[in-house]
Every structure is written in C-alpha cells, then in structure tokens.
Structure 1
Amino acid sequence: MDNMEKENIIDVHRRAFGPDEGPEIAKLAESFLDHPNTISISVSRDGKTAGNVLFTPFVFEDHPDAKCCLLAPCGVLPEFQGHGVGKELMETSIAHLRSAGFDAVFVLGVPAFYPRYGFVPTDKQTPYPDLLTIPESWMALELTAGTVAKLSGRTKAIPEFMQPAMWDTSAYG
C-alpha cells in the first residue's frame, strides 16, 4: 500500500466518524495499517476511496488454530453514505475473508447494521467481558460452519485493541 492510499483510508475514517470521534478513529486506523496482518478493503466511487473497512487478528487463546478477525473500523465518506458503499464494503470483505480461509469475524458495533450481513449476537468473550454493557453489540459472523460454537475462553486482539476503553459499551447511546 502506498502512502497516498494510506492517507485516503485514514481520511475516510476521520470524515466518516465526524469531528468528535473522527480524529481518534483515524489515528487507530493509521496504527492498524502498520500491522502486517491487517486486511484493508476499500470501495471506490468516481476514482476516489469512498469507504474502507479494516480487519485485524482476533485470537481465542484456547483455540489458536481458529482463524478469526476483528472488524473495525468500517467507515464511509459522508457524501457516499446511503448509496450502497457500506453494503458493497461488507459483501466484498466477507467474500475476501471467506476465500482467504477465515473461520469467523467478530465486531463490536451497531446492532442495526451488521445483522444485515449475517452477524448475530454472540456470547463469546471480548478481552474485557465485564465492560460489555450492551451484549447485542458484540456479534460474530461464522465463515466456516461450526467454528463459533467450538470457541471459548479468553480472547486477545492486537495491542491497540487491548485497551479497556475500546470494549466499554456503557458510553454508547
């Protein structure tokens, strides 16, 4: 990925999440892009990056062979929201992850959006299970049949995601 593409992706997340959350989400996206195992999927419109979603490794310590990832962030430029970019992002990325041999995708996200793409609430642990005050916001998409049922125990994400504040849903409205 060249610097221009990276800057475009960071800008998508900055603008998609608005003035309050945008700068922090953009900074996270930038650090995720520096991880060698991050998967970045973008959708373009009129020759520019209109949306982007990032996937980082998510490990169940008792099941290290399960190939899982965490979806975050997923952003669409404001001028392209409501025009199918998010749908294309989700469909393209799910197909890519399936073809790359992933078993499951997890997301701490908006319960009204992700179920459209097959995500369902899950009882699998986040790295900080005590901070999950909105259980329906923690969802999984099974890509390999039977995988999620077998997963259990403690989980671990990349270092940037291992901050307790990342998993505290009590501030969500």
Structure 2
Amino acid sequence: MKIRSIEKGEFPRLLDLIREAFTHYGKEPVPEYGKLHEETFHEVYARTDLDPELIIVAEDDGRFVSMCSLLPKRLRFAGKELMTAVLSPVGTLPGYRGQGLAEQVISFALERAKEKGYALSHVLGHPTYYPRVGYVPVFPFHDVEMTAGTADGSRAASSRLAAASDLPQLMALYEGEHRRHLMNPVRTIEWWQRELLPTVGTRHSFAVKDPADFRVFTVGEAVIGYANLAEGQDALLLSECSLAASEHAEAVWHALLLEAERRQKPTLKGPYKNLPRLAAYLRLRGAKEISFAPSAWMMQVLDWETVLTAFASHACLASVSGVPLQLAYKDGALHAVWGDRVSQTAMSPAVLTQLMMGTFAPEELVKADELLALIFKKDLPYFNHNETLQ
C-alpha cells in the first residue's frame, strides 16, 4: 500500500474513487449520491488555488482505494489572515474500510499541510471519528426560531434581488457583522461575484444555492442589509443575514415576515451566529433559542506559534490594558506571560483548542488558573457550513 499526493493527470481516477466510495456510503448503494459527489468535486478541483500536493491517495497495486483532500481556505483569525485548509472529501472503497486506511491518508495530508505552512484545518464530519486524527468539535449549533406572525408592510424594508452594483456594499455588510468574531472566512469581491453573478460554464455556487433566494434590503436608496434564504418543511430558513446597524433589524424583520407570508411558512429559523444583529433583536422579542449538541464542525491547529501569536494580540486582556500578552504551547503546556503574571498549565491540544474557541465557562477556568479566566473570554467563531468547498 502506497500513500502519496496525486499527480495532475490523475483526477479522472480520483473522481472515479469518489463516485464509488459515496455510492456505497450507507448500507445500500445509492448511485445518485455517488454521482452528485463526483460532479461536485469535478467542479471543486477546477479551483485555481487548488494544491495537488494536499490531495492524498492510498494506492494498492496501482488502484486508488482511499483518498482525502485539503482545500485551501482564507480565514481571518483574531484579526490576522491565515492559511487554512478544509478537509473534504474523505472516501474509501467498501472493501478497504475498517482498516484505518482513511486515518493514515488524513494524517499524511495534515503533515504535508504543516510542512507547507498551513495554520489551521477544519472538517465537517462525524464527531466521534475525526478526533482520532486530531480534530476538535468546537462549533456548537444554536438556532433561533420565531413564529412568523403578521407583517406590517408600512414598517418593512424593501426587498429585491442583488445587482452587480451592490457587491461592494454587501461585502462591507458582511465585514461589519463578523469582524468581531474570533474567526470568519475572508470573502473577496471575486467571491461575491462568483456567488451572486454566476456566468454560464462556471462552477455553481455553494453558499448561495439560488440567487433568487438572496435578498437585498433597502430603505430609500440605502442598502441596509441582506439575507440568504431557503425553505424548510414549515419554516423560512435564514442561513445568513447581515445588517448595517441594529436599528435596521425591525424593518428587515417585517420584510422577512412578508417573505414568509408569500411562501406560506408559519415560522422563521436560522443559526444564531449567522444572524448576529437580527438574532439579538429576535431574542429580545422572545424568539425561542434551540441549542443542539456540539456540532460535527471541527478544527485542528497545525501551527500553534502562528495561531497563539494572533490570539494574544487580539485578546481583550492585552487590548484593554495595553500590556502585551505572550502565549506559547510547548511540551504539552500552555505558557502565558502578562506583565508580571506568569502561568504554566498542562493541557492537551484539544483542551487548548476548546479554550481558544470559548467552550469553557469562566468559572471552570478560575479553578485551573485565574489568569486563564482573564485571557480566554467567550468569543464565537463564524463559519457558514455551506461555504466549505470554496
């Protein structure tokens, strides 16, 4: 068995493996599922930023039997743009499963990514499987849900499709909503063009499934927000909503009520982290908050020095006091220096990852070390799960 990076001329063989692996993903073969994955990754692998050295295969006597790919993703973490990679897909032929082969392929890919300077990796997958190769579940799901009620058209913002001239404003709205998040994807103007203004022959969008479901909200000539919509069985789903200011939440809410009424949906629902200002408004109006178990969206730190340096400069403790914070992870311990206060706490990479991503309550940290409670404040990351393949 040989594990290696793919060569440029081998993509057709790789896609054959993906189709076969996902056709037999469950107990019964589903050819449509395999075909969908083959078509999707045929488009994904046409990306100009793709790195073939991060697409790894296991080869048995010349036959591809297992694979994974790490897809480059531009992320802003603690105010600094980092090189990161999303693990997708992972596939193994049925006859080769249960042998730990996929774990070997993934581990090979992650080591290659470390060598190439990638700081973080993410994966959307099974939360009991991927921790075997170092991923940590740190992205909890919280949905807000509210009964639609009756819209007041006189208080509603106008709603329309996006136009090419809107793109700079939409980009600014996204940055304004998510710049306070510890982490969020970088969206360039090219990203917005690809998502909202697809041209014939280009690969399809992933975050925006249907341009008709992407609504721009205006008051007069001013663009005050946008929402990316979808339909559930009995709900209008808000996969993302950004507002220019909290004062616009009411006008956008009534515009969404009109949209729900038009689509005959009795409720509206969306992930809390994807709707920052609107979700805060809805909670004040009594929206129900639904908390799920820790999600299957996971993270792994590949370069602790880069990540902790960015985190230390971003930490509230340093920015408010003006006293620099120094963080380092070595020999299985977190070393923290803030002025004349010094802390050294033994912890695993998984625990440190959870600390950074805000999954510990302050009272838990005080028991371990008071300085940790000051450093690691609760701070939500942002990631639209539909955005993983680009």
TM over 0.5: yes
**TM-score normalized by the length of structure 1:** 0.76
> 1:17 and 1:66, CA in 2 relative to 1: closer, same or farther beyond 3 A?
same
Aligned to 1:44: 59
Runs of 4+ in 1 over 4 A off after TM superposition: 61-64, 124-129, 131-134, 150-160
Shift of 1:75: 0.6
Q: Return the match for 1:31 from 37, 43, 55.
A: 43
> 1:56 and 1:157, CA in 2 relative to 1: closer, same or farther beyond 3 A?
farther
Aligned to 2:298: 139
Aligned to 2:82: 66
- Write out aligned runs for 1:122-137 (5 A): 122-123=138-139, 130=271, 135-137=294-296
Shift of 1:159: 7.0
> 1:114 and 1:69, CA in 2 relative to 1: closer, same or farther beyond 3 A?
same
Letter in 2 for 1:76: T
Matched, 1:119 2:135: yes
- Once the two structures are overlaid, the 10-residue window that deviates more, 9-18 or 39-48, is 39-48
Shift of 1:43: 1.3
Aligned to 1:65, the other structure's residue is in SS state: strand
For structure 2, the residue ranges without an aligned partner over 5 or more in a row are 1-6, 24-30, 140-182, 186-206, 208-238, 241-270, 275-290, 308-352, 358-378
CA deviations 1:50-85 (Å, max 9, x no partner) are 111112122224645211111111111112112232
Aligned to 1:161: 389
Aligned to 2:295, the other structure's residue is in SS state: helix
Aligned to 2:70: 55
Matched, 1:11 2:239: no
Query: For 1:78 and 1:85, how far apart are their aligned partners in 2?
Result: 12
CA deviations 1:25-72 (Å, max 9, x no partner) are 111221122113223111111221111111212222464521111111
Larger radius of gyration: 2
Aligned partners of 2:69 and 2:109 also within 8 Å: no
Query: For 1:83 and 1:60, how far apart are their aligned partners in 2?
Result: 34
Aligned to 2:33, the other structure's residue is in SS state: helix
Query: For 1:159 and 1:143, how far apart are their aligned partners in 2?
Result: 21
Identity of aligned residues (%): 20
Letter in 2 for 1:101: G
For structure 1, the residue ranges without an aligned partner over 5 or more in a row are 163-173
- Once the two structures are overlaid, the 10-residue window that deviates more, 149-158 or 19-28, is 149-158
- Specify which structure has the higher proportion of strand: 2
Shift of 1:90: 1.2
**TM-score normalized by the length of structure 2:** 0.37
> How many residues are treated as equivalent by the alignment?
161
